[in-house]
Each structure stands twice: as C-alpha cells, then as structure tokens.
Structure 1
C-alpha cells in the first residue's frame, strides 16, 4: 500500500493548476443537455448526476491520474483481503485489519477473507434462528406473549448507523414489531424511551464491543432498574451484541448473544450484528439479506479502475477536488427523503471520525487538508432553514443531494397536477440548478452568483437493497479519500482524551482523594471547573 504524501503526486500539481480557472457553470451553455448526459455515472441502481460540479474532461483526467498514482483501487482491494490497514507506521496503534466488507461478502463461494466472512455467516445463522424463535412463538415473555419492541442501547457506531438504517427502512418493510434507541448518557434519553413502551413485551439489545462502554453500561443499569420495578427478570428481556469474551459475553445475564469483531470499526458496523439484530427484529431476515446484497454489490462496483465508471471513487475524487483544490471546507449531504432523516448524522460520524486526522500513516504531520466538515438535513425542510446561506452566503458549501423517483409508502396525492413525490424531486433538481447556474438581477439582493458545486444521486426507491448500496457507497467513498490523503481512516484516537478527562472529573465527583490531591495543593483545573459548574 502506498504511504506517499498527497502533495508529492504529479496529478496534484496539475489539479492545482486547473483549479485556478475551474469550469464555469453559469451562463447559457454552462449546463447544457449534452453535458448533463455525459456527466452521469450509474451503478447498483443509482445514477450520479455530476454535471453541476465544476469539472471538465481535463479535471476528470487528472483525477483519474491521481487515483492511479495513489493506487486507490489496489489499496481498497488490499483492505478487503485483510491487510492490516488500521495502523500508523512506526508508532503504537490498533494494528488491525479493516473488514466491514466481509460482513456482506457472504454471497460468494470464494470470499476475499474467508475467516471473517465465515464468522459473519455464523452470526447471520444465529440471527436467523433467533428470529425463527420469535416468529414461531417459542421465544416469548413470561406470560407467553410475543415481544413487539426492541430497544437498542448503544452509543456512537452502536447507535447512529443502526438507527439511521432502521428509520430508513421501517416504511419499506411493514412489520408488527418496532424499534427504539437509547444512546445518550443524559438520563432524559432513557426516561423518554422507557416511559413510552410496554416493558413486558420489550427486548433490550445492549451493544458494546468492549463490554465496558460507560454510557452504555450506565443506560443498561437504568433499563435493569425499570424492568425490576415492573416485576420483570432482566435476563429474560435483554440480549447482547459484544466482543467474544467481553464482560458482556455472559449467558446468565442475557437471553442471547451476538458477536462483533475487532476488525470492524464501530462506525462501519451497521452491516454487522451491531445493525442487523435490531433491523432483523423489526423487518425480518429477508430484508436483512437484501440490505447486505446491496452493500456487497457496491463493494464490487468500487473495484472498477475507471473513475467515471466507479461511483464511490468518483464521489470521493469530486470531494477531493472541491476540498483540496477549490478550497471548500465542508460538504452538505441533503437527502430529499424523510426516511433518510438520520443518514447525515451517521455520515457525520463515519466521515469525520474516519478522516478528521492530521497525522499521516507514516506518523508525520499532514501539510494538506484532510476530511471536510459533513452536515445535512432532509429536504425540503432545509430549504426553509439554511439554504439561504448555501445560495447566497459568503461560505461556499458543496452539496450532495440524494433522491428517489418513488416514495417508500406509495401513499400520495395529486394536487394542482402533480404528486407530492414529483414536487419533492422537482424541488431537489431546482436547487441543484440554482446553485450551479445562479441568477443575475438589477437588484443586488436577488443576485445568485452560481458556480456552487453539487451533485444529485438518484435511485428508483428506497428499498433494503438500495439502502445497503447507499451505505456502502459512502463507506467506500470515505475509505478512498483516506487512502488518497495517506491517513488512517480507521482509528479514533481523537475521542480518547475526552474520555480520560471525564474519568478524572467523575473521580473527583466521587470524592477521590488521589485525584483531588492534598489539602494544601493549589486547586486543579478539574476542581475549578466542577466548582464553577456546581457539579459534584
């Protein structure tokens, strides 16, 4: 795998030169029908319309050269085959394989990493048998009634991805069972969820790889207390998704256990048991398999060497063009699909925890921009909120729109000649055009400068297979960008310092003399902060 500085690639110098005069999208011919037809990439049921990006053939050729110089396809293939890519050369690090793709490489007779895919198959079989017991009525509550709700208790990757996937698909596969989520250590989060469910017919899915995550274990105790107060046995209402051999891997405490593995990072774990147990409970095993099949198809598509035919690679390189060469610090992901309401929140973690790095895989400080700020909300709500800034503000924000030609529930109504879904898509396309082309006016307040880069990602309908492909598209985009920037996209050292300091503060709240220091010592920073916050 290449461990080369981003700035040393010959294509970087060419792209820097091309960025001095990027393609002009404004004016009559800036967005012609011919350009729209040519600048489209289709894969796994999705069409990426990127004529509204500030690229031309010269830029695309240079981006292809950058991908080739950086060995991005080879790096991606090495990752899928089990190379230890979660590492910093010459320094202490996690030193792990990165094999979330193995979770969906279960449809091949010759998986790329047989051991990891074999484990994934074993866990899928455990899940199938577990769901069979629920369906057949052999697994019920103490009163012989079926469980109707699952509450997933986890945080970070054990919440954001699974929650986003469930919300995205609950309308695609109607079920008698539903899911809720508890993540925040804020007790109001747990209290709100627990007050709105029938505890006697609820299974709690406690998710922690280490089995020691403070927020999750705290919320687990709140759940146990609620169950005991209701006269229920927690061990008959709780299951675990954890690492094999962790403190949570205990059949006396949990009705069932599923395993997660070190080579699957939390933010990449939605296609592992972290996401699939709750998704399977709510939707059934068949939608789970379709979801995995969609992700697997996108993983295969990501191995195409030609940039303009490789959707994840193209999206990654367009992002690099906007971020590193045109100088735009953020990207907005705006789904024109209410079921994807939490998908931008998942991408915030997946992208910013992955590529929010300032050290190369060689251990040196980077001298180029790495991951952008990722944010977003569903349209059309956002049009009445922050779109003013992306159209006319001084900060240019590249946009990635996501839309579907058909609604999920297929409950619609024609009003004034068009359906709601048609209005939704028309709004999305109109925003894309307006950002790109702009508008002239004698009134300066009504001038839209245009040349605001964006792309439109379209599919027919948000099905389990489409959702799997969409998830893998963004996961693979993030990995490609990290490889290109020569950073480790798979560790998360940046979250550790806050955990250490929080532990110190909690120790002080407990009155630990070791942390508080002697009576004559000067008041510590932690003590001063607690004093001002009046906590403890």
Structure 2
C-alpha cells in the first residue's frame, strides 16, 4: 500500500475550498434545486438493499472531489492487495483475508504457498458435521441426553460478532438456547450457570491465541464448575470445544484435539464471525442458512471489488464519513436500526470501526494531524427516539446517522410495522428539513400577543445528515451483505486516511498494567509504587476488602 498523506493531495485542498462554499447551503435548498436528487444520490444493491444518501450535505462537486481523493490515495490498488492476500497488516506482518472465508470463487488463492480455500473448506466441513449432530440431537452429553444449550466464551469479536448475528437472525434460530460469557465480572458467569445443566450444555471457548485473559479466566471458572459434576476425561470431551489458531493451549486446557476448530492469524478478531468463530451461529441457524449468510457477504465483496467507485456503496459511505469528520468536524456517527432483532448491530460496529480506525499514527509512523476514526454509537429505534434524539434534532453537536430498516417484518402484527417505518421515514425527513419556516416568517412579530412565544423552542433547523438503508427483509443473505458493506466502509476509510486498520495495539497497554496490578491485589499490603491516584484507589480497595 502507498503511504500518502491525505492533506497533501490536491483533492483534499480542493475539498477545503469547496467546504467553505457548501457549508452554509441547507438541504432544503439542495432538494429544491435538484428534483431528481433521490435518484441521483441513491443506490440499489441486488433489489435487496436500498442506500439513500441524498440527505447528506453533498453535491456533484463534493462527490467528484471525494472520488478524486480515492485516486490520489491509490484505493483501487489497496483493494487489489487486500483481496489477493498481500500483507497489508504491516505492523504484524500479516495478510487480511477474512474475505476468503466467505468466497465462492473457484480459482485458488495462495498465501505463503498454500491454497487458503482448501483450509477453509476443511474447517467448514467439520463445522457442518458437528452442527448437524447437535441440531439433530445425535450428539449426547455425559448422561446420554441431547444438547439443549450452548455457551460461547469469548470477548471482543469472538463475542460481539456471533451475539449480534444470532440476535439479528432470531427468526431463523432453532430449538437450541445460546448464552454468551465475555465479561470477566463473575456476575455474568454465575448468571449463565444458573440457567444451564452441565449434562445438556456444550461450551465453545473462542480465543485466537487461547491466551486472552478474560476468556481464559471465564473458561477456567466454568471448567471448575463442570468438574464438580463429573471429572472423567471422556465426559469433558463431550462438552468442551475450542476455536483458536493455537492447538497447544487448548490441549493443555484439556480439550480433545478433535474438538478444536481452527482459524488463522490472517483473520482479525473483529472480522472473524465468518470463520469457525461463527460456529455458534451455525449451531443456531443451521448450515444452509450460514452458507446463505456467507453468500450475501460474498456478493457485497464482489460489488466492492468490481463496481466503479461512483456507484460503489461502501466507498461512497466511507467518503461521506471522511467528509463530515474532517471538514465539518462532526466527530461521531450513529447507527440506528429500526429492527428489534438488530439491537446489537450498533455495538458490533462500534468495536469494528473504533478498534480498526482509532489510530493516531500514519503508515509512516508519523503523528497524524487529521481526523481518523469517528466515534460510533447507536441504539435501536423507536426506543432511541425517546432518549437521545432530542440532541440529534436540536443539540449543538451534529451527528450524521445511518437509519436501517426492513421493508418486510418477520412479525407482522396489526399496524405495528407501518408505525415503525413511519417513524423511520419521518426522522430522516425532520432531521434533514426541520420545521423552522413558521419561526422565520414571524420573527418580526415576536411581541405580537398572537405569536407563540415558545415557537423558538419548537424550532428544528434541520440540515442534519442521514443515510437511509432500507432492506427488503433481514434474511441471512441480506445481513451478510449489510455487515460486509460496513466492513468495506471501514477498510476504505483506513486506506484514504493512511492508517493501519487491522492491528489493535491500543488495547495492549491496559492489559500489561492490569497484570502488574493484579499481583498487588492478592495481599493486604498497601502499595506505593504507582502514581498517587492509582495507589490511593488500590489502597481504599484493600481497606474495604481485607478489613
């Protein structure tokens, strides 16, 4: 990949000048001046996903300059390297090949002399056989009863990914019950253990290295609990499984080699749900639906890989995000799914985006002086309308929002879905266009007794940008495509902003310090070898625990 400082490109300098011209133009005016704005600024993906980006503070010139930026930062070349197994994760000297996990390309893809597709198919076949046995009640626990519950033990992508997908595809879930353990807080472990029977539960420990502290602490506590009921090796084999790049540590833990589902170091944790990390997904929705999920993602991969950038959905979404973050100083983005099943979607992409692009050094190792990753947050609608939408509509901070909704509901009940979608349509309309015309017409009559003196507080200025993402229905295929769309948006942002999106060194320092502090918490002795704040906090903790 090229190392291009985006600030030094011609397009960036032109965008700065263009921003001064467009910043005060209201969306009302843009729609009045372009009667075909919706058609000109929306794209349809396979008649399944409509992306309407017309309610953004952009025009043809904006897009032209943003697209020019992709050329000056060599985005096309980076995409080629990405899909062809080049080691674009330079700080860890690794390729980034999660796209291979969902590929249906018949041509081989070689990485370090081996065809990765053969490895992937082998693991996928193993997942298929195992999941079929569990779902069909042919895999029996140590009391010869069939399995009813699954506990997924992981953190980060090993938790958020499967959790989000299983929840989003709940209409496709089978009879199995799923429980997730991620937090090292014992409360989560104990609450899950209250709900399950050891002889009817399987435990899937997901950890890339099988050394992730939170995951291994939780796994050991669950193992200890399980061994209270039976400590026979053959019983343990029926209930404990590992998903890891590492064989040595799972074997030490006591997991049988046949119960280890492999993935590879070229799969990043936050992009791993397409791999054996998705075993719990397959167990809940079945092999056929899991394949449809992969096929949806593969279709979006092809769209991203082959579609000209002016019609390329992930690229355009990324460019619009860069436009707001760097020129309008809009530093946050909200993802707002109007689908209760997708209530974990925002959290998932909070991690995917912020762990990927939350970087302050460029690919040359220089401190950046531009904005990189935005702050991502959100909640499902319509609940969110009654919490933080006040700020979205009338606050001093402008937050670009993605609104996501299915046209067809899995649960059509009376007029519920029409009411839900009426809110979906109304919110983007009101954020864009506001309702201040009455106020401005009557501003000179403020002392008139007939004038509503509270009208100023009821004023909505509008001009607040949104993307509307309308899906035909949230199926495994559509969800796969939707997740993939956001993944490639993140990738595009990272390339243009000249940062490494596929490492996450920022989480390491806290872990190192935690290890040092942990040892100090095991005895009553007060500490004095840290800073005064940390010393004070630890010593009060000890006082309350040991006295």
> TM-score higher than 0.5 here?
yes
Conserved? CA contact 1:355–1:487, under 8 Å: yes
Distance change in 2, residues 1:120/1:28 (3 Å) = closer
Separation in 2, partners of 1:149, 1:413: 30
User: Which residue, out of 255, 260, 263, partners 1:257?
Assistant: 260
Offset at 1:444? 0.7
Q: What pairs with 1:107-186 in structure 2 (closer than 5 Å)?
A: 107-113=104-110, 115-135=115-135, 137-171=137-171, 173-186=172-185
SS in 2 for 1:323: helix
User: Which residue, out of 401, 404, 417, partners 2:403?
Assistant: 401
Q: What pairs with 1:329-340 in structure 2 (closer than 5 Å)?
A: 329-340=331-342
Distance change in 2, residues 1:446/1:129 (3 Å) = same
User: Which residue, out of 527, 538, 541, partners 1:533?
Assistant: 541
Structure 2 residue ranges without an equivalent (≥5): 440-454
Separation in 2, partners of 1:479, 1:104: 17
SS in 1 for 2:369: coil
What is the TM-score when the length of structure 2 is the normalising length? 0.90
Separation in 2, partners of 1:248, 1:3: 40
User: Which residue, out of 471, 477, 486, partners 2:489?
Assistant: 477
Separation in 2, partners of 1:347, 1:145: 38
- Is the deviation greater in 39-48 or in 223-232? 223-232
Which position in structure 2 is the counterpart of 1:15?
15
Conserved? CA contact 2:2–2:73, under 8 Å: yes
- Is the deviation greater in 299-308 or in 488-497? 299-308
Conserved? CA contact 1:210–1:246, under 8 Å: no
Distance change in 2, residues 1:83/1:295 (3 Å) = same
1:268 matched to 2:271? The reply is yes
Conserved? CA contact 1:31–1:52, under 8 Å: no
Separation in 1, partners of 2:417, 2:129: 39
Separation in 2, partners of 1:29, 1:158: 44
Separation in 2, partners of 1:465, 1:159: 21
Separation in 2, partners of 1:381, 1:452: 20
Offset at 1:62? 0.8
User: Which residue, out of 53, 58, 61, partners 2:61?
Assistant: 58
Which position in structure 2 is the counterpart of 1:210?
209
- What are the superposed Cα offsets for residues 317-347 of structure 1, whole Å, 9 maximum, x if unpaired? 1111111112101000101111110011010
What is the TM-score when the length of structure 1 is the normalising length? 0.92
Which position in structure 1 is the counterpart of 2:192?
193
Separation in 1, partners of 2:389, 2:287: 40
Separation in 2, partners of 1:72, 1:29: 31
Offset at 1:243? 1.2
Q: Considering only aligned residues, what root-mean-square deviation do their CA atoms show, in Å?
A: 2.2
SS in 1 for 2:180: strand
Which position in structure 2 is the counterpart of 1:94?
92
Q: What pairs with 1:73-472 in structure 2 (closer than 5 Å)?
A: 73-87=76-90, 93-105=91-103, 107-113=104-110, 115-135=115-135, 137-171=137-171, 173-231=172-230, 233-249=235-251, 252-254=254-256, 256-274=259-277, 276-304=278-306, 306-408=308-410, 411-414=411-414, 419-440=415-436, 441-442=438-439, 443-472=455-484
Conserved? CA contact 1:280–1:288, under 8 Å: yes
Q: How many residues align?
A: 518
Offset at 1:483? 0.4
Offset at 1:305? 5.1
SS in 1 for 2:509: helix
Distance change in 2, residues 1:522/1:32 (3 Å) = closer
Offset at 1:486? 0.4
Separation in 2, partners of 1:33, 1:346: 37
Separation in 2, partners of 1:529, 1:42: 55
Conserved? CA contact 1:401–1:457, under 8 Å: yes
Separation in 2, partners of 1:298, 1:354: 20
Structure 1 residue ranges without an equivalent (≥5): 88-92
Separation in 2, partners of 1:495, 1:28: 43
Offset at 1:63? 1.2
Separation in 2, partners of 1:141, 1:48: 47
- What are the superposed Cα offsets for residues 124-150 of structure 1, whole Å, 9 maximum, x if unpaired? 011011123334544211232211211
- Is the deviation greater in 241-250 or in 27-36? 27-36
Conserved? CA contact 1:150–1:205, under 8 Å: yes
Separation in 2, partners of 1:318, 1:277: 35
Separation in 2, partners of 1:449, 1:113: 55
- What are the superposed Cα offsets for residues 45-94 of structure 1, whole Å, 9 maximum, x if unpaired? 2111011001111111111111121121220221111111112xxxxx31
Conserved? CA contact 1:99–1:116, under 8 Å: no
Separation in 2, partners of 1:204, 1:387: 40
Conserved? CA contact 1:209–1:246, under 8 Å: no
Distance change in 2, residues 1:196/1:65 (3 Å) = same
Distance change in 2, residues 1:290/1:250 (3 Å) = farther
Which position in structure 2 is the counterpart of 1:90?
none
Offset at 1:250? 5.7
Conserved? CA contact 2:270–2:352, under 8 Å: yes
- Is the deviation greater in 441-450 or in 158-167? 441-450
Conserved? CA contact 2:401–2:466, under 8 Å: yes
Which position in structure 1 is the counterpart of 2:41?
39
Conserved? CA contact 1:81–1:112, under 8 Å: yes
SS in 2 for 1:400: strand
Conserved? CA contact 2:189–2:218, under 8 Å: yes
Offset at 1:30? 4.1
- Is the deviation greater in 490-499 or in 229-238? 229-238
Conserved? CA contact 1:30–1:437, under 8 Å: no
